[in-house]
Amino acid sequence: MTVQPTYDFLIVGAGLYGAVFAREMTNAGKRCLVVDKRSHIAGNAYSKNQDGIEVHVYGPHIFHTNDKAIWDYVNQFAEFIPYHHRVNVTYKGESYSFPINLKTLQQVFGVNTEEEAKVLLEKLRTPTNEKDLESWVIGQVGQELYEIFVKGYTQKQWGRDPKNLPNSIIKRIPIRTNHNENYFDDRYQGIPRGGYTKLVANMLHGIDVQLETDYLEKKNDLSKLASQILFTGPIDAYFDYQLGALEYRGLRFETSKIEKPKFQATAAVNYTELEVPYTRIVEHQQFEPKGLNHTIITKEYPLEWTKGKEPYYPINDDKNKILYNAYRKLAEKETNVIFGGRLGEYKYYDMHQVIAASLKTSREIIKESSK
Ligand SMILES: Cc1cc2nc3c(=O)[nH]c(=O)nc-3n(C[C@H](O)[C@H](O)[C@H](O)COP(=O)(O)OP(=O)(O)OC[C@H]3O[C@@H](n4cnc5c(N)ncnc54)[C@H](O)[C@@H]3O)c2cc1C
């Protein structure tokens, strides 16, 4: 006698991709079990309360999107505090406004008006067909701005000379000639009140979740529990690295409590000199100010990544793209496994993008199964 699986879907990973998928499938009447190897839900968006402050444990997470449907979707699960992300840069003891805007150009070059800034940028521009990051940025803004804002920071962040990195890494950062100091241009921006973990817990309401469960360690037993699997862990780990390991950039976080209400002017301050070992300091209470007498900061140190360490940023160079495509071909042969999310698709996804991708996949499956 064949035993029927208990669940329709086994969802590996309680991050945003897995949680959205679980919610949609459950709403469609499917039975879901979510497992995560970590001791908490919410994946890399995980936040936890420390001394009354919601700390973004795997780096600061700001929700931003231009897509009203995605904004309405997340607002079902949390109340969002209006928040517009601002970042300062510290370089050789000087503080600058960032992304580059009129205030920055005033500080560096002494220009005063939008017109002067436009003329200046035009003079600095020497566009190039070179595809490397260094040549591209110098071609856009000149040597001086490159040195202050990009060179050391990029070298630290990626552990590679900017001459050997693709310009695609930096193309999304705006260069403005007006006073707009916002980091993101998106129409909808905010931080979920009470943190991302609460948001994801609301998404997973009523759904079975098993933490501290590594799917790859119990693959045979867990797979029997469901007819289909969504895997949001690393695609190369799923295939036991048989074609080699995809590369990531790692991070180390150093968090400390400081006995004063505020530590720095903006929630994030980037340290762009190569000589300072961390890339930024994040002050968590600025995301959800509560007027406390203490504050909590995190210094973020980029790390060389090795297999087994927490993977953060995929290295989207040609070598890794080719390897990912080879894994993708293996994935297509797995009949009852769907791969999704930043690790399953080896893709730098922002939260709104990962939610959109998960909604698309889950809704296509629901549509297909209702035929
Ligand atoms: C430093 C940093 C800052 C960021 N800041 C922002 C920001 O400001 N705004 C924004 O929109 N986005 C930001 N992001 C991106 C955001 O974190 C991702 O879009 C989002 O977390 C991706 O969700 P996911 O579900 O795909 O992956 P994840 O959140 O990584 O979830 C995958 C889950 O799968 C689990 N898992 C893996 N393997 C297994 C296994 N074998 N068995 C069981 N479980 C497993 C993992 O433990 C993890 O919990 C940032 C990312 C980083 C690294």
- What CA–CA distance (Å, rounded) separates 37 from 116? 55
Handedness of CA 118, 123, 128, 132 (dihedral sign): negative
Confirm whether 348 is domain-assigned: yes
Amino acid at 145: L
For residue 237, which atom of ligand 1 is closest to its CA? 41
Q: What is the CATH number of the domain that holds 27?
A: 3.40.50.720
Confirm whether 198 is domain-assigned: no
Q: Is the CB of 354 under 6 A from ligand 1?
A: yes
Q: Report the chain's mean pLDDT, rounded to a whole number.
A: 95
- Asked if residue 262 has pLDDT above 90, the reply is yes
Q: Annotated catalytic residue: which of 280, 327, 342, 345?
A: 280
What are 269-321's pLDDT values in tens digits?
999 999 999 999 999 999 999 999 999 999 999 999 998 889 999 988 889 99
Shared domain for 236 and 352, answered yes or no, is yes
**22-29 — which CB contacts under 8 Å span 24+ positions?**
22/203, 22/204, 22/207, 23/203, 23/204, 23/207, 24/358, 24/359, 24/362, 24/363, 24/366, 25/362, 25/365, 25/366, 26/206, 26/207, 28/362, 28/366, 28/369
Shared domain for 320 and 238, answered yes or no, is yes
3-state helix vs strand vs coil in the chain, percent to 5: 35, 25, 40
Q: Tell me, what's the pLDDT at 172?
A: 65
Q: Which of 167, 196, 172, 194 has its CA nearest to residue 183? A: 172
Shared domain for 240 and 334, answered yes or no, is yes
Domain that holds residue 36: 7-41+204-244+315-369
Amino acid at 3: V
Confidence of residue 2 (pLDDT cuts 50, 70, 90): low
Distance 35 CA to ligand 1 centre (A): 14
Active site residue 86: no
- What CA–CA distance (Å, rounded) separates 97 from 90? 9
- What CA–CA distance (Å, rounded) separates 325 from 345? 10
What are 221-243's pLDDT values in tens digits?
999 999 999 999 999 999 999 99
% of the chain residues with pLDDT over 90: 90
pTM of the model: 0.96
Q: Tell me, what's the pLDDT at 127?
A: 84
DSSP 221-235: HHHTTEEEEEE-S-H
Q: Is the CB of 183 under 6 A from ligand 1?
A: no
Q: Is the CB of 5 under 6 A from ligand 1?
A: no
Shared domain for 99 and 221, answered yes or no, is no
Q: Annotated catalytic residue: which of 17, 96, 176, 271?
A: 176
- Assigned token pair, 248: 């990531």
Confirm whether 220 is domain-assigned: yes
- What CA–CA distance (Å, rounded) separates 66 from 56? 23
Residue 227: burial class (beta carbons within 10 Å; 0-12, 13-18, 19+): middle
Active site residue 254: no
Average confidence (pLDDT) over 119-140: 91
- Residue in the block written with tokens 């994040």: 282
- What CA–CA distance (Å, rounded) separates 282 from 263? 10
Average confidence (pLDDT) over 31-44: 98
Confirm whether 224 is domain-assigned: yes
Total count of domains within the chain: 2
- What CA–CA distance (Å, rounded) separates 59 from 299? 9
Confidence of residue 1 (pLDDT cuts 50, 70, 90): low
Active site residue 193: no
Choose the residue to mutate in 44, 62, 350 for probing ligand 1, maximizing ligand atoms within 8 Å of C-beta: 44
- What CA–CA distance (Å, rounded) separates 7 from 57? 31
Distance 67 CA to ligand 1 centre (A): 20
Helices 196-203 and 16-27 pack at an angle, to 10 degrees, of: 30
For residue 44, which atom of ligand 1 is closest to its CA? 29
What are 152-207's pLDDT values in tens digits?
999 999 999 999 888 888 876 688 999 999 999 999 999 999 999 999 999 999 99
